[in-house]
């Protein structure tokens, strides 16, 4: 049965191993983001990718391994290009507005370009899947540590008022994540608020800085 399925693939579907793996992952991201881990089968992924299920298991031992590989796939495709590198000079210059504006804009642009991954993370969290924990430990904690460290430095400089840095980070991240979720899930036509990513980032940075200024 497997051989029959494999021979039905069209000649133009032949790819290198890396190309096929990447294609499977992209198809999987699309399906997982729509239906979640539990609601998506490897058979459905294979059908959408135009390959046999045996090809899926040639690249991934099981569905869990395929799901977990999505983070690495996104990293290799620069989806997780470090936002910290973009603000290093602003950190050195103690450009508070530049730091928070750049961080917010970077996040908003990623959310706009890759809404599928945002949906995928939501499904993972709701299903209590390890992928959500992996993303939290590999990326979200870095955001807290990075921004929290900067806030502490600016508190020591007397520029920011005394407040738990992680509260500040959570308020800041909450602004742009909630904004992106509104645009992605509830207000796709932006009837409630139509605003560019640049303008949103500008306002979020200003609101935050006015709230924590010494």
Q: Which domains does the chain have, with CATH numbers?
A: 2-76 (1.10.10.60), 85-212 (1.10.357)
Residue-wise pLDDT tens for the chain (214 aa)? 333 333 344 444 577 777 888 889 889 888 888 888 888 889 999 999 899 899 999 899 888 888 888 877 776 555 455 667 788 899 999 999 999 999 999 989 988 887 888 888 888 888 787 777 877 777 888 889 999 999 999 999 999 999 999 999 999 999 999 999 898 889 888 999 999 999 999 999 999 999 999 8
Contact predicate 103/147, CB 8 Å: yes
In angstroms, the CA 177 to CA 199 distance is 15
In angstroms, the CA 122 to CA 183 distance is 14
How many angstroms separate the Cα of 33 from the Cα of each of 13, 39, 112, 114, 184?
24, 10, 15, 11, 12
Q: Give phi and psi for 160, each to the nearest 5.
A: -110, 145
Which among 17, 71, 26 is positioned nearest to 45, based on CA atoms?
A: 26
Radius of gyration of the chain (CA): 21
H/E element holding 35?
Answer: helix 17-35
Contact predicate 134/68, CB 8 Å: yes
CB atoms within 10 A of CB 5: 14
pTM: 0.72
């Amino acid at each position: 049965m497997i051989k029959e399925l494999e021979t039905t693939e069209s000649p133009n579907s032949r790819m290198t191993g890396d190309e096929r793996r990447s294609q499977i992952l992209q198809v999987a991201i699309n399906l997982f983001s729509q239906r979640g881990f539990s609601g998506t089968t490897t058979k459905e992924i294979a059908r959408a990718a135009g390959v046999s299920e045996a090809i899926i298991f040639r690249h991934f031992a099981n569905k869990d391994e395929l799901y977990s590989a999505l983070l690495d796939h996104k990293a290799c495709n620069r989806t997780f290009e470090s936002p910290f590198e973009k603000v290093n000079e602003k950190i050195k210059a103690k450009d508070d507005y530049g730091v928070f504006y750049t961080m917010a804009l970077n996040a908003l642009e990623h959310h706009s370009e890759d809404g599928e991954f945002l949906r995928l993370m939501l499904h993972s969290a709701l299903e209590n899947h390890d992928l959500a924990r992996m993303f939290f430990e590999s990326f979200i904690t870095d955001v807290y540590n990075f921004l929290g460290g900067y806030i502490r430095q600016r508190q020591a400089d007397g520029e920011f008022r005394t407040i738990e840095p992680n509260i500040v980070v959570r308020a800041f991240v909450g602004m742009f994540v909630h904004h992106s979720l509104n645009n992605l899930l509830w207000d796709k036509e932006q009837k409630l608020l139509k605003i560019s990513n640049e303008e949103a980032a500008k306002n979020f940075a200003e609101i935050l800085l006015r709230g924590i200024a010494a």
